[in-house]
Amino acid sequence: MAEYRRRKTGSDTWHWCRNCHLDPKSDYDTRDKRPDYDLCNHCKAKEKNNDCRT
Ligand SMILES: [Zn+2]
């Protein structure tokens, strides 16, 4: 199952593709369930292209 990550500082979107260039590497919150909003557009695009590494 994908892990959703969001940076703690500042307003950011949720990332679940580890190959997303905006995926936070430290100081982030995590959750297992897909959030209803604030999803990363880059992660969405990767998922659509089957290029999302979770
Ligand atoms: Zn992302």
Question: What pLDDT digit, counting tens, does each position of 36-54 carry?
Answer: 999 999 999 999 999 999 9
Q: Which two tokens stand for residue 48?
A: 């659509």
Question: What pLDDT digit, counting tens, does each position of 26-40 carry?
Answer: 999 999 999 999 999
Is residue 54 domain-resident? no
Which residues constitute the domain of residue 30?
4-48
Backbone angles phi, psi at 42, to 5 degrees: -70, -40
Residue type, 5: R
Distance from residue 2's CA to the centre of ligand 1 (Å): 12
Distance from residue 45's CA to the centre of ligand 1 (Å): 9
Q: Domains in the chain: how many in total?
A: 1
Is residue 17 domain-resident? yes
pLDDT band per the 50, 70, 90 thresholds, residue 9:
confident
Distance from residue 33's CA to the centre of ligand 1 (Å): 15
Is residue 16 domain-resident? yes
